[in-house]
Each structure stands twice: as structure tokens, then as C-alpha cells.
A and B are shown apart, each in its own frame.
Chain A
Amino acid sequence: MSKKLTLLAVSIASVIGFGATANVSAATSADDLAKAIAKQEAEIATLKQQLQELAQQQSEQLASQKQIEIAQQKQSVAVTEVSDTVVAAADRYSKFSFKSYGTANFTSDEYFDNVQDTSPERRNRFDLERIVTEFGYQFTDEWSMEVEIEYEHGGTGAALEYDGFDEFGEFETETEAGGEVLVEKAEIRYRPSDAFGVKFGNIHLPIGLSSTLHKPNQYLTVLRHKSEAAMIPAVWNENGIGVYGEIADFHYQAQVVSGLNSEYFRTYDWVASGHQKRFEHVNADDLAFAGRVDYGNFKTGSAVGVSYYYGNTSGNRNKSNKLNVDGSLSIVTVAGAFVEGPWVLRGQYMYGTLSDSDAITQANKTTPGLRPGNFAQLGSKSQSFFVEAGFKLNDYIDIPMTVFANIDYSNPLMEVESGAATQRYENTWSSIGVNYFPIPEIVIKAEGGLQQVAVASIPDTNFFALGVGYQFSL
């Protein structure tokens, strides 16, 4: 702009300059004057044209400035929109939660080839025990949901199907590979207040401490407590509805859920394998009640609690004409935890009764295709307990490490309805070990111990286990 004005000024100055010179020479002849006038007029015409061009350029400039302003306005609107979207997204994201935990183990156990064998052989094994992913979403202040998917032993799985159209009614297995993928929890929660909430869907039963304390940093042993696994489903989940809440330091839960199926009860783990996860559909002709009251919080520290389970188990059998008794099952647990300073002390006692256990044994034994193997006999009473005690060394040496001692005991065949119960399934595992936390999210465990069977002629065996576990939440 300034360059053009300068040009203009120079040209005006030169015209005037020329004019002065022309005046001098004009006097000399009219011809020359006429020439000079013509020349001046031509120059003025050029000047006008230049002025016109300038005016046009100015107006064009004004127009482009206006456009720039419009663009700027648009931009600021867009920026506001984006920031609104980001805020909304962040808000949505804050309602989403993701957690994961998992464990991989190496175990070295001694086992016996058969029931006659009294000289054990050692077997070392690796196991990608489980990888668990938990997705949650908080729809509103009151409504939320959570889904937990577990990959056991590296994935895929098997489903057992009962085909009622086949001649006898037939059990069919579809096996995919070594492990399992299962939905361990899929629940919708409505929680208007701390004191009261409702959850429904596929929910965890509050029976046994493993359901509450199943992340690797929540128990000290390498594998979860064997005593509990020899009696009830580990991390027990069922379809149903439950209420829960906390009042002062009391936590309560009460649930009505799908029951167990006695077709798959076995000598060695009592009612645990009656968990209907092996079927594509869960029979729900017999429902069960589960309840729990804790004082304190087992997840975060010290607590004491009791839990109770009651339900019939015969109605859920696929072959309903084999048994016309209830097979009612009741389980009671008492548990305590003391977690303070360097000390961790946890324990649980579990006791269960099963009615009509002889009739169930007989029905399982004689159902075509069911194949209980040599494990049909069922305990009418069953018991187990564990005590684990740990001491954190953090305060004394500069290593985040806990040393522990553990005792697990279980006897799924504590008593039978008729005759004497064999003691072959009465097991005690005693061990000592360490938990080392290189960072808080990772724990590395080592454990060595002794397994004793109550039968005198079966020798004690030694076991050793190494494990690594992680847990985190976004």
C-alpha cells in the first residue's frame, strides 16, 4: 500500500516538474504548448486511471478483511464446539472404568499314579492361571454396570450340553482347547445410597473369602486357598439378584441366585463341580439364598464376618426322573482378618451339610453317560479352614517384601450317610513363603510346603510354587 502511494507521489511530482519545464518552453511556440497540454492531459488521464485502480484495490482489501473477520468468528465457534466435545468425552470417560489382574504360576508337586501307588512322582508345571478384565460404566449417579471376563489357562473352552432328544438323554461335550474364557460377572447395579443398593445379572456370591479377595495382592499363597476349592466353586458366580449396602462399619449382602446341580457333585470337591458353568444354559428350578454380614472391610483391612448359603440341588438335574429328593445344601462360614502395621492375619472356617447324599451318589452312579468315575460318593458333611499369617518387612529392611506362613485344611468327605468315610480326601497343606512387590502393581511370590493326607499309608509330599501376579485399574 505504501509502495503504491510513493509511486503515485513520485509520478505527481514529475508531472508538476514537467509542467514547470514546459511552461518555460511554451513561450517559445503555441505548437509546443499544445503538445505539452496534450501530454499533460494524457498524464492526468493515466493518473486518474491509477487513482481508480487504487480505489478498487482498497475496496478489495476491505472485502478480504471482512472475510477474515468472518473466518475468525467461525473459528472461535468451532473452538468452543471442540472444547465442549472434549469436556463431554472426558465426562463420559470418567464414567468408564477398566481393571485387570492376572497370575502365572510354576508349580512342582508330587503325585501318585493310582490308588495303589505309595511312591510319589514329581511333576513340574507352568500355568497361565488367569487373566481377568473388568469393564464398568456409571450411567448415572445411581445406575452402573460391570462385566468381568476371565481367560483361564490361556483361553478358549468347553461347553457341556444336555441333549434331551437323544435316546436316554445324553451329555455331549464340545472341547475347544486347553483353557476357558468365561464371563465371571455381568451385573447391573442400582445404588441410591451407601446404605442400600441392588445388583442383578451374573453376580458374585459372598460365600468364602476367595470371592472377596481374589486379586493376587489380596492373598499371600501362590495359588488361591486350596481348602476352599475342595468344597465350593472358587470365585462363585450365579445368576440372580442381590441387595447390599453399608451402615456404619457393617456391610451386608442378601441374594437369591440360581442353585447348584447335584449331577456333578464329586467326592474330591464336594459341591464345587456342581457349579453350572459347564452348561450352556443354567437350570433354575431350584434357587438358592446367599447372605453375608461383615463388620469392617476385608478388602481394605481388618474385619470379621459370617456368611450362609442354602438351596436345594436336585431340581436342577438335567435328568429329572433320577431323583425325587431335595438334596438340600447349606454352607456356613466364619472369617476374620487382622491387617495392621506389619501384620496380616486372615482365617476362615467353612462347614457344610448335604441332605440325601447317598441317594445323589446312587443316582449319579447309575445315570447313563454321566460317568462320575470313581468319585460318586458324597459327604453328607464337609468342612475346611485356612489361616494365613504374614509379616511385612518394609519397615525393617528397605525391601517391599512380606514373609508368610499358611495352613489349608479340607475334608469334603467328613461324614457319609451310611458307613465310614474314607480319609483319603482329608488334606492338610502347610507352607511358608514370601511376597515381593518390585512395584505396587506387581507381586512375585514363592512358596514351599508339605501336603499331608490323613491316610497313614500315603506318604507326605512336598510342593513348591512360584508365581507372578499383577493388578491395575485405569
Chain B
Amino acid sequence: MNFKYTAISFALVGTLSACGGSGSDAEVVTPVVPETGFTFVATDLITNLTDDVIVAGYSALAAEGDALLLATQALLNSTSQADLTAAQEAWKAARKPWEQGESHIFGPVDSMSIDPHLDSWPLNTTDLQTQLAIGSGFDAETIKGWNDDVQGFHTMEYLLFGDGVNDNTKLIAELTVAEREYVIALAEVFRDYTAQLDDAWQVSHNPQDANALPYADLLKAPGSDNNAIYSSELAVIEELVNGMIGIVDEVGNGKIADPFGDSLTTADTSKVESQYSWNSLTDFADNIQGVRNVYHGEFTGSADKQGIIDFVAAADSALSIRIASEIDDAILKIQAIAGADDMPFRQAILDETGRERVATAVTALGKLQTSLESDVIPLLSDWNAQ
């Protein structure tokens, strides 16, 4: 019986191959796979983004940390208003790479809790005043042991710019000895943390283990033998896209919407981040600029490299252009909140026409967030990743 079937199948195979000899054999040998998904080689994209955007950003932050420490140290015995202005500018300069970097706030900045050490908000002004009133000879090591709400960006901001209620200028004569000592110690703590963060990306991602790889290497070589964090390029792209979504959500629904409230009466200026320096709108715009950097794969003005835009374009070129314009639109709408008379955010939320401009910006951010979530995220499962 078996023998018979075998014989029959041999006969059939023989007949079919005889046919194949004369017809087109491609259809018979290769099974037809319906064309689903898209193909894209992501290696260059990941390498560019890691080196030219993320690592470059943290290294710029560390450099600004050094500069900020120098600028604050100049204040110790200074009576020159120019020194204070220079320190204020140094603060703003450090703020820029940090805020742009919030679009990729994963890895060491998260695992080493660097974020709260650098950027805790709100500031605990009550405790700060107490420390300034009773303490003296502040040093960095002591301050590191204190709670995060009396150190970092916003404490320095408060000391350098004043309370920000009516203006964001402060006279050098108003700067007390305790404030000068405190801000210098804070800048040193800040410098140390930014250096740690930079090292984690470029030297070793685990400060306790000298043999641990730099975090940049983990990102650039997903799926390699000693990489326990990223198993594939897909995992890296997913992390990057989710990072973008995270900050768009935070700016639109947190940083802007929280103090904005649902009406003029529920608006709360005490919740406005960077309110002392009146730097809020620059912060928000830089946050979305960070999204733009990741999306395009390079800082604005640099030579074109691959970014998430190329990944999206491989699947849908119209979508890639639409997202790019939505990002630019969100940045413009945030900047436009200032209006013709350059109103700071904390004033704009208390102003009828200002509030309209804020609402427009929130809508633009919402639109961008929706596009990223419902149009870009699904591409991850359509991608025929290597």
C-alpha cells in the first residue's frame, strides 16, 4: 500500500518536473508571499542618532555645566552686574541641551535618578530660605545630601534671577553672601551630575562596574552578546519613538496644561516651570526642538543624516513630511504664545488673548502626539526588521 503511494507520488513528481522543464518554473518553486510591511536598514539611523544627537547633547550639557560653575564662581566677590548677567546666560545655555535632551530621557538619566537631582520642580523656596538664613559656607558634598527640591536648575534659577513675579532681572547688589556661596555649591553639584551622565553614555553605563559598556554602545549594537538592554533594532526604534511621544505629552498635557487650568480663575502660576527666569516658553520650545532633533537625526543646521523621518518615509513618504511639519508647527505655536509684546508664559495664562494662544499651542501639540501614537507606532509592526 505504502509502496503504491510512494510510487504514485514519484510518478507525479516526475510528471511535474517534466512540465517545469518547458514552462516558467519560478511560480512553482518559490511560494508567493504577499507584499506586507516595508524594509528599512536602521543601523545608520541608530548610530547617527546616538552619536550626533544624544551623546553630542549630553556632552554639550556637561560642557555647559563646567561653564556654569565658572560663571557662578565669578560671583563670589563680584560687584559687577555683567558677572551676574553672564551667570544668568550660562544658566540658560545649560538649560538648552538639557531641555532638548528630554526627548530621549531613557537610559542612565533615568536609572541613575539624574533627572530629579538636576531638574526637580517645584522648588521648595521655604526650605531654601531657611537654609540661606541659618546656614553658611555651603559646600557641594553637603548639599548633595539634601533633598532634591533645594538644588538643581530651579534653585540656581531662583538665586540668579529672583522670584520672577514682576521681572526676571536681579541686581548684583541684591545677591547676598549666602546666596553666592549656595549657588556656587549648587553649580558644582550640577557639574558633577552632568559629568556623570556624560560618562555613563561614553565610558561606562554603570558607575559601580568599570567593565560595563558605555550606554551609547548598548544602543548602537542591539542584540549583541553582552547587551541585556536592547535585543533588536526594533527595540531601539521603539524606545526613540516613545521618547518623542513622552515629551510631547508632558509639554502639552503637563507643563503647559497644568498651570493653564480650565479657566482664568483656575490658572495657577505657582506651577509654571522656569518662572523665575521667564524661560518657560524657551524650555517648552526646546523640548519640542529635541523631538525635532531625534526626528531628523541631526541638530538643526547640521548636515543631513538619517533620523526617524527616514524610517517613516520608508513606509509612507507623505506621512514623514506631515509629521515633520506638525513638529515645526508645534514649535512655532509655542513660541507664538509670547505674542507681539513678548509676554512670558506665567503672564500669558492670566491674559485672555494670551490664553487663546496657549490653547492653540496645546492643540498643535495634541495633533502631533496623536500622529506619533496612531500613525508612527503602528509602523513598528509593519517593519520587516533585520
Contacts from A to B (Cβ < 8 Å): 113-117, 166-168, 267, 321, 358, 361-362, 365-366, 368-371, 373-377, 416-420, 422-424, 455, 457-458
Contacts and interface: CB of A to CB of B under 8 A. Distances in A.
Contact of B126 (A267, A374, A377, A457): A457
A457 B138 CA distance: 24
A455 B130 contact: yes
A455 B126 contact: yes
A61 B78 CA distance: 130
Contact of B206 (A167, A267, A365, A416): A167
A375 B126 CA distance: 16
Contacts of B142: 418-419
Given A114-B271, A115-B149, A116-B122, A365 B131 contact: no
B125 A368 contact: no
B130 A420 contact: yes
A362 B134 CA distance: 23
A366 B146 contact: no
B279 to A, nearest CB: 17
Interface string B234-275: 000000000000000000000000000000000000110000
Contact of A358 (B111, B127, B131, B145): B145
Main secondary structure of the interface of A (DSSP, over half): loop
Interface stretch (B65-73, B82-90, B113-121, B371-379): B113-121
Contacts of B112: 366, 368
Contacts of A420: 130-131, 134-135
A377 B134 CA distance: 18
Contacts of B228: 166-167
B364 to A, nearest CB: 27
Given A117-B270, A420-B130, A374 B116 contact: yes
B147 A116 contact: no
B231 interface: no
B111 A369 contact: yes
A116 B163 CA distance: 12
- Top 4 closest pairs, chain A to chain B, by CB: A115-B124, A116-B122, A368-B111, A422-B127
A369 B112 CA distance: 7
With a 10 A CB-CB cut-off, give which of A115, A370, A424, A455 has the most chain B CB atoms: A115
B144 A365 contact: yes
With a 10 A CB-CB cut-off, give which of B127, B131, B147, B208 has the most chain A CB atoms: B147
B124 to A, nearest CB: 4
Contacts of A422: 124, 126-127, 130-131, 147
Given A365-B113, A366-B113, A455-B126, A374 B135 contact: no
Given A374-B120, A374-B149, A424 B229 contact: no
With a 10 A CB-CB cut-off, give which of B134, B138, B145 has the most chain A CB atoms: B145
A235 B113 CA distance: 33
Given A376-B148, A424-B124, 17 more contacts: A114-B270, A115-B122, A115-B125, A116-B123, A167-B228, A168-B111, A321-B208, A365-B113, A368-B112, A374-B149, A376-B147, A419-B135, A419-B143, A419-B146, A420-B130, A424-B126, A455-B130
B126 A458 contact: yes
A242 B342 CA distance: 71
A369 B147 CA distance: 17
A419 B181 CA distance: 14
Interface of B: 111-113, 116-117, 120, 122-127, 130-131, 134-135, 138, 142-149, 206, 208, 228-229, 270-271
Contacts of A115: 122-127, 149
A459 to B, nearest CB: 12
A373 B112 CA distance: 12
Nearest to A321: B208
Contacts of A458: 126
Contacts of B134: 420
A420 to B, nearest CB: 5
Contact of B117 (A166, A361, A365): A365
Contacts of A370: 113
A310 to B, nearest CB: 24
29 contacts: A113-B271, A114-B271, A115-B122, A115-B123, A116-B122, A166-B228, A167-B228, A167-B229, A358-B145, A361-B145, A362-B144, A365-B117, A368-B112, A368-B113, A370-B113, A374-B116, A377-B145, A418-B145, A419-B138, A419-B142, A419-B145, A419-B146, A420-B134, A422-B127, A422-B130, A422-B131, A423-B130, A455-B126, A455-B127
With a 10 A CB-CB cut-off, give which of B117, B120, B143, B144 has the most chain A CB atoms: B144
Contact of A362 (B131, B145, B270, B271): B145
B164 to A, nearest CB: 12
A81 to B, nearest CB: 69
Contacts of A267: 147
B349 to A, nearest CB: 16
A374 B270 contact: no
A423 B124 CA distance: 12
Contacts of A374: 116, 120, 147-149
A114 B116 contact: no
Nearest to B138: A419
Contact of A377 (B117, B122, B147): B147
A358 B228 CA distance: 33
Nearest to A378: B145
A1 B135 CA distance: 119
Contacts of B111: 168, 368-369
Contacts of A423: 130
B127 A373 contact: no
Contacts of B149: 115, 374
A419 B122 contact: no
A418 B148 CA distance: 16
Nearest to A418: B142
A455 B116 CA distance: 24
A365 B208 CA distance: 14
B147 A371 contact: no
Contacts of B122: 114-116
B208 A371 contact: no
Contacts of A366: 112-113
A455 B143 CA distance: 20
Contacts of A321: 208
A220 to B, nearest CB: 33
A421 to B, nearest CB: 9
Contacts of B270: 114, 116-117
Contacts of B147: 267, 374-377, 422
Nearest to A114: B122
A368 B116 CA distance: 13
A457 B134 CA distance: 16
Contacts of B126: 115, 422, 424, 455, 457-458
Contacts of B117: 365
Contacts of A114: 122, 270-271
Given A115-B126, A168-B111, A457-B126, A377 B146 contact: yes
A248 B222 CA distance: 73
A373 B147 CA distance: 9
Contacts of A457: 126
A168 B145 contact: no
Nearest to A376: B147
Nearest to A170: B111
Contact of A116 (B125, B130, B144, B208): B125
